[in-house]
Chains A and B, each alone.
Chain A
Amino acid sequence: MSERSRDIECREAVERLYEYLDRELTPELRAEVERHLNDCAGCFHHFEFERAFLRFLEARARGRGAGPELKRRIIEELFGPEAS
């Protein structure tokens, strides 16, 4: 029996798209998807588009953090006014 894993179709590759990009696939499944992407320009571009979208979200959907005023208030309430 061949050591190589099986070939997958576009539908299956796209079903696994986010798991692939989120690095949630097992090495075997990851390799299957990668082999498909090497052979299929359509899926390759689709994956690259989604990757760009996720990078965009990571960079731009963060919003602001707690902010210095809230941090100061919390530390003061927890540890007393001299703490902040």
Chain B
Amino acid sequence: MPLTTEERRRQFEAEALPHLDAVFRYAHALAGDPTRAEDLTQETMFKAFRAWDQFRPGSNARAWLLTILRNTFINEYRRRQHEGDPVDISAIEPHTVFGDVQDVDPEGRFFASIVDDEVLRAIRTLPLDFREVLLLSDVEGLPYGEIAELVGVPVGTVKSRLSRARHALQRQLYDYAVEMGYVKRRVS
């Protein structure tokens, strides 16, 4: 039996709307700029509401919304075939910066000196495949299996992307912290 308007609305408010912030953050990570992220968020929520009867109450609404968002973004992205990714994937260093700081700041205290804007800017320079897994794991706290399903790649790929994304981000933040004098560059 189809839901009444009132039931749909109540369910949507209870199960979908609480994930609006997560949807927006993922949209921002995918699209890069806040205006496109807002448009994507809006489109995702409309699509989800229109398709609400297909959603099984009690199942993972966040995963469902993020999947709609991702598919919407990919379709649009393919259509536009625009701006190449700013960082070359092969140039991402697969190494932690721990080796550089273990003598001067083994606890990574320098991270705390870096302002949020700089952290977010550094994340945006990561290629899409990398920044999305980083966001989904390290901000949204999704397990590897859920990320793999959402992104449509094997768990092993999630692991390696995540590890490279973290190291690439560490490297950028470390270089920034050295520039700003928050940590001394290691003399080798």
Contact = CB atoms under 8 A, between A and B. Distances in A.
A3 interface: no
A60 B117 CA distance: 9
Interface of B is mostly: helix
Nearest to B111: A56
B12 A58 contact: no
Number of chain B interface residues as a range: 35 or more
Nearest to A58: B138
Contact of B41 (A49, A61, A66): A66
**Chain B CB within 10 Å — which of A22, A45, A63 has the most?**
A63
Given A57-B138, A58-B139, A22 B42 contact: no
Contacts of B137: 22
A11 interface: no
B21 A49 contact: no
- Name the interface size band of chain A: 20 to 34
Contacts of B49: 78
A64 B170 CA distance: 21
Interface in B148-188: 159, 162-163, 166, 169-170
A66 B108 contact: no
Interface in B98-150: 98, 101-102, 106-108, 111-112, 114, 116, 119-120, 123, 134-135, 137-139, 141, 143-144
Contact of A61 (B12, B120, B163, B170): B120
A46 interface: yes
B111 A61 contact: no
Interface of B: 9, 12, 17, 20-21, 23-25, 28, 38, 41-42, 45-46, 49, 96, 98, 101-102, 106-108, 111-112, 114, 116, 119-120, 123, 134-135, 137-139, 141, 143-144, 159, 162-163, 166, 169-170
